Homo-oligomer: A and B are copies of this chain.
């Protein structure tokens, strides 16, 4: 969460001129997104009406070659009434521009706030919105492999090494050593695939009361097993932040919201415990890697990898497999 690039008002005004949105009247660097710089921009048209946008400058963690996939996806989903921000194309029709060697895009501002103590009604709405995206993306022609799939977690966790994992928690190396090959060997590659968000944490959902006003930050979106996205979202929404407490009402609400729009097949439900272990491993891997590789005096505090080790252990208990079954 940072603004990495500093842009003066004159530069911002020149950037905005490339779009047919009026003139710049306000610009605030906002602390949002982990892989880019963002400004909340306000413009005014000759008639006096104002509009707000998010201007995103992509830093090194986003590959410019992936931008057409991410931005076309937003336009595709917005046209199908999914609650996602539209992209504003420039006067030449381009969805992103290059500025000083970096790509930038102008994206619709959406109202709403990110909840941190979701209610069952909110989890239900998020489940519905996720299913709406999966449904609306069926006729989206873009393709992108999951850069944070099994191979990536294995690599990150191997790079951590058993000693560093043991330093985080004495049992962590063993847990990872057991789960990693198990998830790999049982990966249900035959299940239906679609475009998935792959990172739908509460931070990436804007809400007003119980209504989803925006799903944002699609920069991990890719084509992968549809039910894996349900598993990621389940891991993200249905636990206390430290992973120590499973929240059954949120789980039931999320799954019922999702399946009201996109019914889950028996095969998908069967695979969900394993996919949830995979989702836990994925966030455990990036968090453990960041935990080990963040200098102790850095301004950013790395997130606790154990929060996902606890989820992984929870999903691995056979008695918890039933929570994904139809009720």
Q: Which residues of A approach B to under 8 Å, CB–CB?
A: 1-3, 8-13, 24-32, 40, 42, 111-117, 206-208, 295, 297-300
In order of increasing CB-CB distance, the 3 nearest A-B pairs are: A8-B116, A9-B113, A29-B31
A190 to chain B, nearest CB (A): 39
The minimal Cβ–Cβ distance linking A1 to chain B, given in whole angstroms, is 7
Q: List 17 A-B contacts (CB under 8 A).
A: A1-B3, A8-B116, A9-B113, A9-B207, A10-B116, A11-B116, A12-B113, A25-B112, A25-B208, A26-B206, A28-B28, A28-B31, A28-B32, A40-B40, A295-B297, A297-B297, A298-B299
Task: Check if B10 sits within 8 Å of A117, measured CB to CB.
Answer: yes
- What copy number does this chain have within its complex? 2
**In the complex, what residues of B have CB within 8 A of residue A116's CB?**
8-11
Q: Quick one: which of B3, B8, B207, B208 contacts A31, CB cutoff 8 A? A: B3
Complex interface: chain B residues within 8 A of A113 (CB)? 9, 12-13, 24-27
Find the B residue at minimum CB distance from A10. Answer: B117
- Given known pairs A8-B117, A116-B10, the reply for A111 and B26 (CB within 8 Å) is yes
Beyond known contacts A2-B2, A297-B297, A297-B298: 16 more, CB 8 A cutoff? A2-B299, A3-B31, A8-B117, A9-B114, A10-B116, A10-B117, A11-B116, A25-B111, A25-B113, A25-B208, A26-B112, A26-B113, A28-B28, A29-B30, A31-B31, A40-B40
Contacts of A117 on B, CB cut-off 8 Å?
8, 10
A38–chain B nearest beta-carbon distance, Å = 9
List residues of chain B with CB within 8 A of the CB of A31: 2-3, 28-31
Once the chains are docked, how many angstroms separate the CA of A32 from the CA of B30? 9
- For A26, list chain B residues within 8 Å (CB): 111-113, 206
Contacting pair A29 B27 (CB below 8 A): no
